[in-house]
Amino acid sequence: MDLTSTETTGGPGTLRYVTWISVVAALGGLLFGYDTAVISGSIGFLRTYFVLDAPEMGWAASSALMGSILGAGIAGMLSDRFGRKNVLILAAVLFSVSALWSALPRTFTEFATARIIGGVGVGMASMLSPLYIAEVAPADRRGRLVSFNQFAIVIGILVVYFVNYFIALQGDDAWNVQFGWRWMFGSEAIPAVLFLLLLFLVPESPRWLAKQGRDVQSLAVLSRVTGEERAEAELKAIREAIREEGRTTAQLLQPGMRRTLIIGITLAILQQVTGINVFMYYAPEIFRQLGSGTSAALLQTIVIGAVNLTFTIVALKTIDRLGRTRLMVIGSTGMGIALTALGLAAYFQKAELWVLLFILGYIACFALSMGPVVWVVLSEIFPTRIRGRAMAIATLALWSANYVVSQTFPLINENPWLVRTFHHAFPFWLYAFFCAVTIVFVITYIPETKGKTLEEIEKLWKRE
């Protein structure tokens, strides 16, 4: 298969080319998943090695998220100035540096600093990978292609769960406390370097090129992505959209765009406060708390990763058919039910098997809906000229919410009064409440965007 075919008829050659571009960009998502989930297998060993209390354990898990907040905050500005591709290259470099340094820290402060550096890369990639794909992909395939990013995220999560498990098997707990966690973090250098090298083989975003007045280059990319017949029309629509847009982010404060920004920020926050990263970061510790040994806890985490991957594939196949809003409502409903049941199981101290089943149900519903769909919607709803900065604001809100949830979970989960009163059920019921909020919000405020071009979506907001 020639993934770099120069066919420009809109046929198989162009489809292979845009798929290839999307897969390379989605490696940023794979590193996003790998970097954020590697902590799950190592957190217990880190706690022992550095003698961490509950707040410090929360910082070990969430320090990377502080970097992610910074990365998301500057990625839009940098990508609007220097291009989507160049900032993704910078993110790949940061991933590589962080992987090596976090494997060889002399102090807990050095470890946290290394994780923050990697977090900056995560924040950049989390915003720019789906945005880049959305700006390259044809409208009728955009949902599926942007979902490649979420697909790559869950592959990265599953891969690192396997890596953590097999590294942990190389020795006993004492060996893992001294050496195992170092190999877990260092292993990220392999996909990070691969991502860096492959980025040099893909083009810049055609919409960003047009925004810079580089129409010839933009048309060349569009011709390979959509075919020559459609490329001229696409470029014309992009030029018209850019002419109608303001030159600064002040446009986001205009009535129609202000509403769009608030909706994007709220949706990003809701994706996180429904609790997903508690299970991504702390699943082995939750299972150990319920009586599992180290190997069993890591193996159960692999099952979580497999379910996450399976239902992301389902989302990938249905997002352009069922639509964004329907999937989010269905998924949030299932997540809320599973979290409520998980809280009941924790409250009544039921068997470990029930807890695993409820967690798997929650993960399946998230992977079907809020995981991939939120990133698709965020990549679609903002106008071209300020899409980078606008999505950066929403992604900044997402990572800030992630930080709050990840930092506070150990405190809530180990709070003596809450444990005596709710038996570890309280955090799960809190996240279930936010699932209910998500359902109401999506039904009330999110329009359906499947099948529409980015320019049509922009006009949709202006009419409201």
Using one digit for the tens of pLDDT, what is the confidence trace for 10-56?
A: 455 577 888 888 899 999 989 988 988 898 888 888 888 998 887 88
- Specify whether the backbone of 135 is left (phi greater than 0), alpha (psi in -120 to 50) or beta: alpha
At 340 the three-state DSSP class reads helix
Q: DSSP letter string over 146-168?
A: HHHHHHHHHHHHHHHHHHHHHHH
pLDDT score at 9: 39
Mean per-residue pLDDT over the chain, rounded: 83
Domains with residue ranges and CATH for the chain: 12-463 (1.20.1250.20)
pLDDT average, residue stretch 126-142: 82
Check pLDDT > 90 for residue 126: no
How far is C-alpha 326 from the geometric centre of its chain's CA atoms? 20
Number of neighbouring beta carbons within 10 Å of residue 347: 16
Weakest mean pLDDT among 180-189, 275-284, 306-315:
275-284
Q: 183: which 2 tokens?
A: 């190999």
pLDDT per residue as tens digits for the range 400-449:
898 888 888 888 877 788 778 877 788 899 999 999 999 999 999 888 87
- State the average pLDDT over residues 189-216: 90
Residue 250: per-residue pLDDT: 61
So what's the pLDDT on residue 223?
84
- Residue 327 contacts residue 369 (beta carbons within 8 Å): yes
Average pLDDT over every residue of 110-117: 94
